[in-house]
Structure 1
Amino acid sequence: MSEKREPARNRSAVRSLLRLWPYLRPVRLRWGTAAVVAVVASCLGLVIPLVLKWIVDGPVAEQDPGGVWLGALYVLLLGVAEAGLFGLRRWLVARPLAGVEAAMRADLYRRLQRLPISFHDRWASGQLLSRGTADLSLLRMFLAFPLTFLFVNAVTIVAGYVILLGQEWTLGLVLLVPVAPLVVLCFLFETRYSLVARRAQDQVGDVTTVIEESVLGIRIVKGFGRHRSQQLAFRALTGRLRGTELEKARLLAWIWALITFLPELAVGAALVLGTMQVADGELSAGTLVAFLSTTLALRWPVESIGFLIAMSQEAATATERFFEVMDEAEEEPGGAVTSVPAAGDGVRFEGVSFRYPDAPEDARPVLDGVDLHIRAGETMALVGATGSGKTTLTALVPRLHEATGGRILLDGEDITAMPRERLRELVSVAFEEPTLFSATVAENVLMGAGPSGDDDTEALGRALAVAQARDFVDALPEGAGTQVGEQGLSLSGGQRQRLALARAVVGRPRFLVLDDPLSALDVHTEALVEAALREVLRGTTALVVAHRPSTVLLADRVALLSEGRVKAVGTHHELLRSDPEYAWLMSGTEHGRGTDPR
């Protein structure tokens, strides 16, 4: 699901870019030095026309070859100095700006880890990926070149016009005529280009999302022979992106042509006027040469205005996209309680309600006043029809989602009063869809061992034994040190689920939440896992989402969740006798066949 995009706002590019200052502040001295060096280098180019004026009006007019060679040496030295200073500028900014990019990427990654699940439910992963890669690379390039040269070129243009007016003010005024129309054109260009640049960068995020989904879902694409439809969908997205990029190119071509044409028109007029003044003896030939050379030296700073403005707009858009994520509110850290809750009361749900933030106002809450007590050391099975809220209820215990009403107590302590880190040390979770990382088997399992993440060989072996995973792990090429690959797709579904279960039990948590942890196992492996899991469950307080009688039998009691409420609580056999809905759910009757006893 893609994030909800807001309409483009007329926010000043300068205001957006100023938000980068906290990242630039640590490198401001080196970056500022590089800008000064670039200004000096650029202004050295304006000295060359003055040397040419001296050569023409002096040695050339006086037919002094030695003076001409001396002037040529001065020009050569100025050119070498200019090139050396520009090289020094690049060296000065390369390392610190790479550090700025790394710091921004680290902050973005850190923020993504701390944002609530509801944020990740709304945002497409490709959009987040493009912000952390393409957008930040664009910002680094902008800080290294366009931002510096916006300042450098502005100083160079002002200095150049001062020199032009000093040489011959009438010709200088001719060159100032295009300034007003250029300012208006640049303003119109900036307004239009900012909208197109934002659209293009959002479309890059959409393309990234499709590529990522296609790679991760390649088995589905191939299995159902959907490569052609996927290709057509991808072609449609890239076609829209291509159209947007062409629109950007048209805007750039338009502004570049006008920025080039208007000054060139003024230069032509100044050349004609200057030639007439030389012919009339009102102006020396050297002055006209210096004037025209200075004008040529200013050609790049003037013509680059459109290019630099375009890159500034793209950088401003990238900055906005970066801070759209950084401005999102993190998960509330919880209370300052650091003590471990006293054992003895188990888990209590008191009037717990929940509705998703983006749900329609008239929609029924997913959970509506859930009251449930799981005694300390007890295993409670949670049973209900599809969509009854079972998975949502389990996600509230470690505060992956925040309850919108009521409260949840762990051994008498309100979970909202606990620091999240402490809460998640106490509560361990295994989800129905097992997620593994591109790491070794041991590293994946020991993620559940606590914040230290120590390589505890004994705990790892015990957890693998509980999950009946030791045999297949030992058979892997490098045992527990084998890399499982992205999403663990090199393993079967049952193998991934057993590793996820091992991760949940490896730390011997006080509270254990299992969301249908055995759904992908065959009946024989399931029986073995259940036998080992019973030993683990004796030492913890557990809530287990169950769909099959064999899983329900792991529990001491069963809670039936229906339409967002706990309808009944009892043992498996009690509910079979007393509740028709529970008996129907446990019968394995498919929905739509026979009669629903509800």
Structure 2
Amino acid sequence: MPVPVRRLAVMAETRATTAPDRSAVRSLLRLWPYVRPVRLRLFTAALVAVLASCTGLVIPLVLKWMVDGPVADRDTAGIWLGAFFLLLLGLVEALLFGMRRWLVARPLAHVEAEMRAELYARLQRLPVAFHDRWASGQLLSRATADLGLVRMFLAFPLTFLLVNSVTIVFGVVVMLLQDWTLGLVVLGPALPVVVMCVYFERRYAVMARRAQDQVGDLTTVVEESVLGIRIIKGFGRHRTQARAFRELSSTLRGTELAKARLLATIWAVIVTLPELAVGAALVLGSVQVADGDLSAGTLVAFLSTALALRWPVDSIGFLLAMSQEAATATERYFEVMDEEPEQDAAVRSDPAPDAGLRFDGVVFRYPDADPGSRPVLDGVDLHVRPGESMALVGATGSGKTTLTALVPRLHEVTAGRITLDGEDVAALPREELRARVAVAFEEPTLFSASVGENVLMGADDRAGAVELGRALAVAQAEFVHALPQGADTLVGEQGLSLSGGQRQRLALARAVVGRPRFLVLDDPLSALDVHTEAAVEAALRQVLADTTALIVAHRPSTVLLADRVALLSGGRIAAVGTHHELLRDNPEYAHLMSGTGRQEDDR
């Protein structure tokens, strides 16, 4: 099994076995804020189901009347009357259960939709560090499979655990009133069944959590395989991936079989013990009828009531199983919802007198890094003057991309501060900050939308064809006009129907379409050929003339776009100057620009 897949299997096992003890009831109670708006229909549905179930328990009483009355007296008219009442009771029961289903369908679909919408909204507000830690398949499974389990719980177990409990209590009272000795015989298995249910609940909770986590891991593998299909095919690794998937799928199969064995065990106990008790009551009741101590009608009514309680008793096992799965699904849902979203400062600071983009003693360490490890950035001081373009150069792993991600607060600084026109970015509302700062990353990301929609994501809602055309011209993305539907052409998932250079030009167009005051570009021209690069650079110079820009660069041609260059080395700014000054005076910079020292930045 490849290491990533093996790691997913181990993580699922660890999450299931090391999770803290919890109460399923307490977990499920967290659903109340979502259920509260539709509580009236749900309570009405539960009441209707109770009435339907209790209606079914009236049937044995009619049978008792028929056996001891019309049947014993050979009264044909009375028998037909009894049959009519039995038919009427059956129709009423069926109608009530159908009404219950109608009552819960719409509100529960609403609850599921609201929970999914809130989960998606929370994911948009969570910091990048959260998304770096979490596998996308785990998040996807929480938004789909887990919420499906929650909806099923609200539709079925939530109602029928109540309905069946009321039915069992009502049925036991009816049996005790008919003959208390037979009633005690039937009640004999109650204590062993309760003990088994408690034992079953604890073990099944662990297995249910493990299975749901493994489903998330399996979803991750499928998603990564689909997105990386070119790599898999290019290196001929499809058999290896298929084998790894089968092994992970086999692990999930084993967990599901373990769940099935637990459920089979509890179901065997819940079904067998009451059946034995009913059999004992039948023998004892028959003896009493033969001795004349009990009427035949009473015995028929008693046994009919006991048989009517088979479904409420037998269903306890899988209702508890579904409740446990819903409880773990709820826990997994709130694991995401309980994460702290990005927060804006409560009080906005007064701007400092300096303008432009400034880094003051910026220190950054990734949240999941060892606290004692060396920070990625350690005391960065840099000032990009208003209207100036600053190229950022450094060796692989020097933290260039990380530094650019701090400007729009994709990550939060560990220490120090970053200011835009004298205002601390930590004090700016994120919406305002990201309206001021536009970004284009080295790896362009496009969405399953039209070309125009992808580009106009970088502008406000009022932007239209004029702004789109200007941005495409700056990015030298005239190829858009040759697409089948022009700017309305759908680019497909991640824009993989386009070349790397085309995607990068669209990402650059998205960055400049809104005429931002600050522009952060992470090696935006790396995928372009020399002729296209020259054309883009010529157009980009006009944009940079009116913008304060920080540009990560690896090639001299990109560096020459900037007014000055900053060399990042050892987590600090080692030198600042023009390209020619640093080329002359700084050996490290000269080495990087020589060609042998240029590397692709990996972080």
TM-score by length of 1: 0.97
2:552 is the counterpart of 1:545: yes
Describe the superposition over 1:105-155 as per-residue Cα deviations: whole angstroms up to 9, x where unpaired.
Answer: 000000000000000000000000000000001111110011100000000
Of 464, 468, 472, the residue aligned with 1:460 is 468
What one-letter code is carried by the residue in structure 2 that aligns with 1:502? Answer: A
Counterpart residue number, 2:580: 573
Describe the superposition over 1:166-208 as per-residue Cα deviations: whole angstroms up to 9, x where unpaired.
Answer: 1000000111110100010000000000000000000000110
Counterpart residue number, 1:249: 260
What one-letter code is carried by the residue in structure 2 that aligns with 1:176? Answer: L
The aligned length equals 588
- How do 1:170-249 residues align onto structure 2 when only pairs under 5 Å count? 170-249=181-260
Counterpart residue number, 1:386: 396
What one-letter code is carried by the residue in structure 2 that aligns with 1:323? Answer: F
Describe the superposition over 1:332-382 as per-residue Cα deviations: whole angstroms up to 9, x where unpaired.
Answer: 12345499x799710110000000111112321000000000000000000
2:403 is the counterpart of 1:396: no
Cα separation, 1, equivalents of 2:348 and 2:73: 91
2:430 is the counterpart of 1:420: yes
Describe the superposition over 1:58-105 as per-residue Cα deviations: whole angstroms up to 9, x where unpaired.
Answer: 000000011011001100000000000000000000000000000000
- How do 1:197-596 residues align onto structure 2 when only pairs under 5 Å count? 197-335=208-346, 337=348, 345-450=355-460, 452=461, 454-470=462-478, 472-590=479-597
Of 108, 116, 141, the residue aligned with 1:105 is 116
What one-letter code is carried by the residue in structure 2 that aligns with 1:164? Answer: M
Counterpart residue number, 2:169: 158
Cα separation, 2, equivalents of 1:159 and 1:406: 69
Q: Which moved more, 1:6-15 or 1:374-383?
A: 6-15
Cα separation, 1, equivalents of 2:536 and 2:598: 29
Q: Aligned-pair RMSD on alpha carbons?
A: 1.5
- SS of equivalent to 1:281: coil
Cα separation, 2, equivalents of 1:533 and 1:236: 51
Cα separation, 2, equivalents of 1:222 and 1:389: 32
What one-letter code is carried by the residue in structure 1 that aligns with 2:183? Answer: G
Cα separation, 2, equivalents of 1:10 and 1:260: 29
- SS of equivalent to 1:438: coil
C-alpha contact (below 8 Å) 2:349/2:423 kept by paired residues = no
- SS of equivalent to 1:539: coil
Of 127, 132, 135, the residue aligned with 1:121 is 132
Cα separation, 2, equivalents of 1:336 and 1:260: 64
Counterpart residue number, 1:595: none
Cα separation, 2, equivalents of 1:455 and 1:66: 83
Counterpart residue number, 1:76: 87
Q: Unaligned regions of 5+ residues in structure 2, if any?
A: none
CA 1:342–1:439 in structure 2 vs 1: closer, same or farther (change >3 Å)? Answer: farther
- SS of equivalent to 1:449: coil
Counterpart residue number, 1:596: none
Describe the superposition over 1:287-344 as per-residue Cα deviations: whole angstroms up to 9, x where unpaired.
Answer: 00000000010000000000000000000000000000000000012345499x7997
Report the CA distance between 1:213 and its aligned residue.
0.6
What one-letter code is carried by the residue in structure 2 that aligns with 1:383? Answer: V
Q: Which contiguous aligned blocks of 4+ residues in structure 1 show a shift greater than 4 angstroms?
A: 1-6, 335-339, 341-344
- SS of equivalent to 1:270: helix
C-alpha contact (below 8 Å) 1:335/1:418 kept by paired residues = no
- SS of equivalent to 1:61: helix
Report the CA distance between 1:536 and its aligned residue.
0.3
2:153 is the counterpart of 1:146: no
Describe the superposition over 1:401-428 as per-residue Cα deviations: whole angstroms up to 9, x where unpaired.
Answer: 0000000010011111111100000000
C-alpha contact (below 8 Å) 2:395/2:598 kept by paired residues = no
C-alpha contact (below 8 Å) 2:591/2:597 kept by paired residues = no
What one-letter code is carried by the residue in structure 1 that aligns with 2:124? Answer: Q
What one-letter code is carried by the residue in structure 2 that aligns with 1:145? Answer: F
Cα separation, 1, equivalents of 2:353 and 2:209: 54
Q: Unaligned regions of 5+ residues in structure 1, if any?
A: 593-598
What one-letter code is carried by the residue in structure 1 that aligns with 2:198? Answer: F
C-alpha contact (below 8 Å) 1:146/1:308 kept by paired residues = yes
C-alpha contact (below 8 Å) 1:334/1:420 kept by paired residues = no
Cα separation, 2, equivalents of 1:573 and 1:414: 32
C-alpha contact (below 8 Å) 1:338/1:422 kept by paired residues = no
CA 1:336–1:483 in structure 2 vs 1: closer, same or farther (change >3 Å)? Answer: farther
Report the CA distance between 1:590 and its aligned residue.
4.8
Describe the superposition over 1:556-591 as per-residue Cα deviations: whole angstroms up to 9, x where unpaired.
Answer: 000000011000000000000111000000001158
Cα separation, 2, equivalents of 1:343 and 1:226: 58
Cα separation, 2, equivalents of 1:429 and 1:524: 24
Counterpart residue number, 2:71: 60
Cα separation, 2, equivalents of 1:539 and 1:67: 98
Cα separation, 1, equivalents of 2:506 and 2:224: 24
C-alpha contact (below 8 Å) 2:592/2:598 kept by paired residues = no
Cα separation, 2, equivalents of 1:517 and 1:189: 58
Cα separation, 2, equivalents of 1:65 and 1:338: 93
What one-letter code is carried by the residue in structure 2 that aligns with 1:324? Answer: E
TM-score by length of 2: 0.96
- SS of equivalent to 1:365: coil
